[in-house]
Amino acid sequence: MKKTIPVIGMACASCSANIERKLNSLPGINSASVSLAGRSALVDYDDSKISLETMKKEINNIGYDLVIDDNTSVDEIRKREYTLLKRRTILSWILSVAGMFINMHWISVGSQDFANQLALLIALANMMFCGKMFYVSSVKQIRHGAANMDTLVALSTSIAFIFSAYNTFWGDPKLTYFDSCGMIITFVLTGRMLEEKAKDGTATSIRQLMGMAPKTAHIVGEGGKVEEVPISTIDVGDVLEVRPGEKVPVDGEVLSAESFMTPDAAYVDESMITGEPTPAEKKKGSKVLAGTIPSQGKFRMRARQVGENTALAHIIKMVQEAEGSKAPVQRIVDKAALVFVPVVGGLAVLTFILWMVIGGSAHLADAIVSAVTVLVIACPCAMGLATPTALMVGIGKAADKHVLIKDATALERLRKVDALVTDKTGTLTIPNQNVDFTKADDLPLEEREKLKPHARESMKTLQDEGIEVWMMSGDKEEAAKYWADKAGIKHFKARCVPTDKEELVRKLKAEGKTVAMIGDGINDTQALALADVSIAIGTGTDVAMDVAQVTLMTDDLNALPYSVMLSRKTVKMIWENLFWAFIYNIICIPLAGGILYLFTSNPPIKLTPMWGSALMAFSSVSVILNSLRLKFVK
C-alpha cells in the first residue's frame, strides 16, 4: 500500500536523502521517496511485513520523526516547532550581538582576558541553549554513519570554540572567534526560520484542499431527529441533512431536496472541485460530493463514500503524492547530497593543510578560520530545495486551476509535448441532454451537442505554440469535419474505434513526437496508456482517470494549454534553481578557503565564518523565494 507520511526534523537535502536511504533499506518497503520541501515521505510498503510503528522507530534512531497517527495534527506540531525555533532564534540574536560587542571591543568590560572569558560564556550559552539541536542531531548521525548540515554546523562551531578557548587561557588572547561561534548558530537558525515560513507558502494548495473537508455532519436519526456528529462517525448508508452554506460532509446520493426557487431541487456550488461557477441543480437521485456547498436550498442524502473513499480525499491524496514524487533530475541531486557533507569535510581539511603548507605555523589561525568558513558556507540545502520547491508550487498551482497532476514526471514531460490527440464527445463537446438520441440523426449537428467552454480558444493556443492537434471521432465524416472546424482543429479522423486512436498515437511517436492523449471514456484507455502524457477529463470514467497522469476536473479546456505553459515554467524554474545552487557552492567554497588572500593586500581580504553562515542561510531562502514566483504565473 502507498501512504504519505509527514516527517519532522528535516533541515537539508542530506536529511531527506538519509531518511530515504534508511526507509529503502528496511524489509517490507518497496520504495520510499522523501520530499524536503513537502516535509513528507511517500512510502510504498507491504503492511504484512512492516508496520508504521517500526518505520517510526527506525527513523527516530537517526534523529528524525514520522507522524503516523492520523488523529495527530501535523500543523499543530509544526506550529509548536516553529514557535520554539523562533524563540531560539531571537535568544541567539541577543546572545550573538552581545558577544560581538564584547569581541569587537565596542563596549568596554575590563581587561582582554575578562572580555574573552565573558565572550566564552556567552558563546557557550548560545551553543547549549539555542544550538543544542545541531549537536544532538550530529551525534545521532555519526552513530549511524551518516552526516547532514547539522554535522557541518556542529563541527565548525566546535572547532572555532575550542581554538578560541585555547587562546583565551594558553595562547594568543587576540585570536578568539567566540562571536563567529554565536553568529554561525544565529544565521543558520534565522535561515531555517525563513525556510520554514517560505515552505508553508509552497504547501498552501494542500491546506486549502484539506480545509474543504468538513469536521461535522448533521445525521438524521430515528423519528427524523437531526443531530450534529463528528464526520469520523459517519458510515455508508447513513442519512444526512445538508443546509444552505454548510459543506457536504461525504459523497452520496440525494434523497430529497427543496429550495425557494424549486420545490424538488437544491443548488450546490461545486466550483471548488469542478471549477464550474454556476451552481449545479440537485434532485432526488443526484450525486453530491464532499466539500461542495449548497448555495440555495437544503437536501437530505444517503452516504455512499466516506473517509478516504470520497472524491475530495482522492484529490488530496493525489496532490500529496504528486508533490512528494521526484523528477528524474532530483535523483541525481539526492545522490550528490549523500556525499556532499563528507566531501565538504574533506575540502575543509584540504584548506587547512594548504594554509599550513603555504603559510606555515604563522598562519595557523588563518588555516583554522578558513577551514571553519568552508564548513559553514557549503550548502546542500539549496541543492535539495531547488527541485521539490518548484514542483510543489507548480503542482499546487495546477490544483488551484482544477488540474490534478499525478507525479513530477508527468509535469516534466508536459513541456515537451508537440502533438495532441483528442477525443471528441465528452472531451471537446458536451452532448445535449433535454435530446432523444434515437432521433438524433434527424437533428442539426449544433442541436445534438455543443463545444465545451473555450474549446476553440484552447486548441488555437496549443496550435500557435507549435503543437500538432488531431481530433478523433466515432462520428461520420460530415459530423467530425463540422466539429473539427468549430474547434479550429486542422487534423481529424472520423469513424474511429479505440484501436484507431492507439494507432495514431503510435504513428506520431514513431515520427519522434512527444504525444499527449486526452479522453474521457473506456474507449480512450488504450491510447491513454500508450501516450507519453495521458490526460483524462474528470467528468469521465474512473478507468480513464486511473490510467491518466493528468486529470482536468473542469470543463474549461483552457486548463489544457495552461498546464503545458505551467510545465514549461516549472521546469525552467527547476534548472534556474539548480544552476544558482551549484554556482553558489562553486564560487563560495574557494572564497571561504581564502583564495582572495592570494590576490589582495593591505589588508588581505578573507571571508569570516560569520559571513559564511549568513551566505549559506541566504542561498537556501533565495531558492524557495525564487520558486514562489510561480504562484504569480497567469
Which residues are identified as catalytic? 423
Rg of the chain, C-alpha, whole Å: 30
Instruction: In whole angstroms, give the CA distance from residue 527 to residue 422.
Output: 10
**CA 377 from centre of chain:** 26
Are the CB atoms for 381 and 13 separated by under 8 Å? yes
Calculated CA dihedral for residues 107, 111, 117, 120, nearest 10 degrees: 40
Output the nine-digit C-alpha cell for 13.
537535502
> DSSP alpha helices (H): ranges in 260-379?
271-274, 311-324, 328-359, 364-377
CA distances from 21 to 24, 32, 148, 351 (A): 5, 8, 13, 30
Instruction: Specify whether the CB–CB gap between 296 and 261 falls below 8 A.
Output: yes
Conformation bin of residue 39: beta by default, left when phi > 0, alpha when psi is -120 to 50? left
Quote the CA–CA distance of 368 and 348 in Å, as a whole number.
9
CA-CA distance, 452 to 555, in Å (whole number)?
6
3-state secondary structure of 450: strand
CA separation (Å) from 542 to 4, 314, 406, 427?
22, 12, 14, 15
Alpha-carbon gap, residue 407 to 391, rounded angstroms:
9
Of 569, 588, 555, residue with least CA distance to 632: 569
The cell numbers describing 544, all together, are 480513464
The CA distances from residue 487 to 275, 454, 481, 493, in Å, are: 21, 9, 10, 14
Please provide residue 119's backbone torsions phi and psi, each rounded to the nearest 5 degrees: -65, -35
Local structure of 232: helix, strand or coil: helix
* Residue with the three cell numbers 535561515: 191
Residue whose cell numbers read 459543506: 247
What angle separates helix 149-169 from helix 132-143, to the nearest 10 degrees? 120
